[in-house]
Amino acid sequence: MLCGLGQLLTGMWEFPRGNSFAGAVNVTKAGSVLGVITAFITYYIGLNELLAAEDMTVIRLPLGIFPKPVA
């Protein structure tokens, strides 16, 4: 999960730096959407880590780890 977040952050940093995209409005919008998606993912990971450190939390966020079915 963190590897994918690193790729998103790198893409967000490199995306608007291309000189050939200087005046393209659609490319700027796509870069903004990529930044917002990265921000939501980062917020979710940070909130998940904060809530996992608590002993008695009010809510629990899904971690993406699914138990294996017992056969």
pTM above 0.75, yes or no: no
Question: Looking at residues 15-36, what average pLDDT do you find?
Answer: 72
Q: How confident is the model at residue 71 (pLDDT cuts 50, 70, 90)?
A: low
The full set of domain ranges for the chain reads: 1-7+25-53
Q: How confident is the model at residue 58 (pLDDT cuts 50, 70, 90)?
A: confident
Rg of the chain, C-alpha, whole Å: 17
Contact 27, 17 (CB under 8 A): no
What's the Cα-to-Cα distance from 47 to each of 23, 40, 67, 71, rounded to whole Å?
A: 37, 10, 22, 34
Tokens of 71: 């056969």
Asked if the model's pLDDT at residue 45 lies above 60, the reply is yes
Give percent of the chain above pLDDT 90: 0
Residue 70 CB neighbours (<10 A): 4
